[in-house]
Copies of this chain bind each other. A is one copy, B any other.
Amino acid sequence: MSTKNKILDAAEHLFAVNGFNGTSLREITSQAEVNLAAVNYHFGSKKELIKAVMSRYMNELSPRLEKTLKQICDDDKKPTLIEVFSAFVEPLLWLNQFKENGTSNFLQLLGRGYTDSQGFLRWFLTTQYPGVISNFVEAVYKAYPELTAEEVFWRLHLTMGTVIFTMSSSGALIDIAKSDFDKNIDISGVIQQVIPYIAAGVAAPIIPSNA
Task: Say yes or no: is A94 at the interface (Cβ < 8 Å to chain B).
Answer: no
Which applies to chain A's interface (DSSP): helix, strand, loop or mixed?
helix
Residues of B within 8 A of A111 (CB): 115
Chain A residues touching B, range: 35 or more
Task: Say yes or no: is A196 at the interface (Cβ < 8 Å to chain B).
Answer: yes
Copies in the complex: 2
| Shortest CB distance A116–B (Å) | 7
A180 touches B158 (CB 8 A): no
Q: Check A181/B118 contact, CB under 8 A, given A21-B19, A200-B204, A205-B196.
A: no
How distant is the Cα of A153 from the Cα of B112 in the complex, in angstroms? Answer: 24
Task: Say yes or no: is A88 at the interface (Cβ < 8 Å to chain B).
Answer: no
Task: Say yes or no: is A130 at the interface (Cβ < 8 Å to chain B).
Answer: no
| Shortest CB distance A106–B (Å) | 16
Contact with B along A1-38 (1 / 0, CB 8 A): 00000000000000001110110000000000000000
Q: Which 5 A-B pairs have the closest CB atoms?
A: A161-B165, A200-B204, A201-B201, A197-B201, A165-B165
The interface of chain A, by Cβ under 8 A from chain B, is 17-19, 21-22, 111-112, 114-119, 122, 149-150, 153-155, 157-158, 160-162, 164-166, 168-169, 172-173, 176-177, 180-181, 183, 192-194, 196-207
Beyond A114-B165, A161-B161, 8 additional contacts (C-beta under 8 Å) are A111-B115, A158-B197, A158-B198, A161-B166, A161-B169, A192-B207, A200-B201, A200-B203
